[in-house]
């Protein structure tokens, strides 16, 4: 990072919190319309019934579950950047950590909505909670679906607390530069932080523990999500490689989403001096790594099907590549494993249009990966007479649109109301003698 002073860091970040332009509010309003469309369709589904979706027998898990896995995946890179890279002392993470953490919190919230949507009778969701009841019905804690409830709620709670605690010093900075009602609001949300040595002493320790706890958690969460499938006996799902395969895929998609968000953010807020090309280059290099793991996992699945001599597995994977959903399969392979290889070229890693385009393609590819796994598995299992096909209904597309709108809506609100870059960590980077999290 080029040498900046503390004052320049503050000025650059605080400038983003000034009152927004009309254009900003126009985009926010547009996204709000998207949310209303999604919410309206969900309300329609609640009124009419889950049958308004394209689900059928045998494909009872449709886009709602695809979206759930997709958004949980997106949520993973935030913790990778804020916790795992932090533990590895990768200093390049500092300028992007806050936005990535925020992305995590919003993505988990949206992911958490989809099991509710998928339930159909959403008012029955409390059945998942363990509480004494007259029917003596208790959740089965041996089921991966119940693991999911525990894991996702834990992840949401932990990532929100990590995000908020990490933001306290910056909220105090905003408070100290604000006036009037804004000052009062930031005073409350910063909890009266003054940067006292006692506060830093405990904060740095607590931050380290947060990172140390979030690291195994993030790996466990997507492993648990993968077991929703891998613990079933369906061909294409019942595989021991699912946990690492899902974790790598989650980080792959999350990093791509970080690029998708950072590139416009960097341009709109003039963050070029902070989110440098080197940082984007490092994200791209990490994407090569995760892309290679994902590509390897795709190949291993085929190898296992061939090596097992299990004709059902073999048919399932033959059909995946050449059957009804072959287009989705090849989109998945090309976008997730082939396109990221372009990042081997330095010129591509240093080109903003290339970075942005590839990040979008990976996002598309990762959505289709979940489509191929979830739909492909359920549609083509053991008995040919039970095979079927699925295509999402308009209601499902509208709810998908609503979820993307909600994500970008929340993110846009965040960047104009809270510091989107960690000023404290940037200052520490300049200072080099800081002890954040030691």
Residues in touch with other proteins (CB under 8 A): 5-7, 10, 130, 136-143, 146-147, 150-151, 153-154, 157-158, 161-162, 165, 168-169, 172-173, 175-177, 187-188, 191-206, 209-210, 213, 216-217, 220, 224, 424, 427-428, 431, 433-436, 438
SS3 385: helix
186 vs 408 by CB, closer to other proteins: 186
Is 47 or 233 the residue whose CB approaches other proteins more closely? 233
- Closer of 134 and 347 to other proteins (Cβ): 134
Q: Which is nearer to other proteins, 170 or 301 (CB)?
A: 170
- Name the residue nearer to other proteins (CB basis): 281 or 428: 428
Q: How far is the CB of 206 from other proteins (least distance, A)?
A: 4
Give 150's DSSP letter. H
Q: What spatial distance separates the first Cα and last Cα of the chain, rounded to whole Å?
A: 22
> How near is the Cβ of 11 to other proteins at its closest, in Å?
10
Closest CB 117 distance from other proteins, rounded Å: 23
Q: Are 70 and 222 in contact (CB under 8 A)?
A: no
Tell the smallest beta-carbon distance from residue 309 to other proteins (Å).
25
Q: Nearest approach, Cβ of 195 to other proteins (angstroms)?
A: 5
Structure tokens at 367: 């959505």
Q: Is 360 left (phi over 0), alpha (psi -120 to 50) or beta?
A: alpha
Query: Considering the complex, what minimum distance in angstroms separates the CB of residue 303 from other proteins?
Result: 28
Query: How open is the CA angle 185-8-434, to the nearest 5 degrees?
Result: 85
317/326 Cα distance (integer angstroms): 10
Q: How does 38-48 read in b/e, with b if 16+ C-beta sit within 10 Å? A: beebbeebbee
- Are 317 and 302 within 8 A, CB to CB? yes
Min CB(389)–other proteins separation in Å: 29
Q: In whole angstroms, how close is the CB of 178 to other proteins at the nearest point?
A: 10
The smaller minimum CB distance to other proteins, of residues 158 and 251, is found at: 158
Q: Which is nearer to other proteins, 49 or 435 (CB)?
A: 435
* 33 versus 129: smaller Cβ distance to other proteins: 129
Taking the C-alpha atoms of residue 398 and residue 402, their distance in angstroms, rounded to an integer, is 6
112-133 exposure pattern, b = at least 16 Cβ within 10 A, e = fewer = bbbbebbbbeeeeeeeeeeeee
CA dist., res. 52 & res. 50, Å (int): 5
Cα distances (Å, whole numbers) of residue 217 to 151, 211, 247: 8, 10, 11
């Amino acid at each position: 990072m080029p040498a900046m002073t503390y004052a320049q860091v503050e000025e650059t970040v605080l400038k983003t919190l000034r009152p927004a332009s009309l254009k900003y509010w126009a985009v926010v309003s547009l996204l709000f319309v998207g949310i209303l469309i999604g919410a309206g369709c969900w309300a329609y589904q609640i009124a009419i019934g889950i049958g308004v979706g394209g689900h059928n027998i045998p494909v009872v898990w449709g886009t709602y579950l695809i979206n759930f896995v997709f958004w949980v995946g997106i949520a993973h890179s935030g913790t990778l950047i804020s916790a795992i890279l932090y533990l590895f002392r990768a200093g390049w993470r500092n300028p992007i950590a806050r936005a990535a953490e925020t992305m995590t919190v919003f993505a988990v919230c949206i992911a958490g909505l989809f099991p509710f949507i998928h339930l159909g009778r959403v008012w029955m969701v409390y059945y998942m909670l363990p509480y004494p009841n007259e029917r003596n019905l208790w959740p089965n804690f041996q089921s991966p679906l119940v693991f999911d409830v525990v894991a996702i709620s834990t992840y949401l709670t932990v990532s929100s607390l990590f995000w908020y605690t990490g933001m306290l010093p910056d909220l105090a900075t905003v408070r100290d530069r604000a006036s009037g009602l804004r000052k009062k609001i930031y005073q409350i949300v910063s909890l009266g932080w003054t940067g006292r040595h006692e506060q830093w002493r405990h904060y740095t320790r607590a931050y380290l523990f947060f990172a140390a706890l979030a690291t195994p958690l993030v790996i466990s969460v997507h492993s648990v999500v993968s077991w929703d499938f891998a613990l079933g006996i369906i061909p294409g799902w019942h595989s021991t490689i699912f946990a690492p395969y899902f974790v790598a895929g989650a980080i792959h998609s999350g990093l791509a989403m970080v690029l998708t968000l950072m590139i416009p953010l960097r341009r709109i807020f003039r963050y070029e001096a902070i989110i440098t090309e080197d940082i984007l280059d490092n994200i791209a290099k990490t994407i090569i790594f995760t892309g290679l793991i994902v590509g390897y996992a795709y190949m291993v699945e085929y190898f296992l099907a061939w090596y097992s001599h299990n004709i059902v597995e073999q048919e399932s994977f033959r059909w995946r590549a050449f059957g009804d959903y072959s287009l989705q399969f090849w989109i998945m392979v090309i976008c997730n494993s082939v396109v990221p290889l372009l990042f081997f070229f330095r010129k591509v890693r240093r080109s903003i249009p290339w970075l942005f385009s590839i990040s979008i393609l990976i996002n598309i590819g990762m959505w289709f990966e979940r489509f191929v796994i979830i739909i492909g598995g359920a549609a083509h299992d053991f008995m040919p007479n039970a095979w079927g096909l699925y295509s999402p209904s308009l209601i499902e597309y509208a709810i998908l649109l609503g979820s993307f709108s909600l994500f970008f809506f929340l993110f846009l609100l965040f960047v104009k109301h809270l510091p989107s870059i960690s000023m404290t960590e940037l200052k520490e980077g300049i200072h080099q003698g800081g002890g954040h999290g030691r």
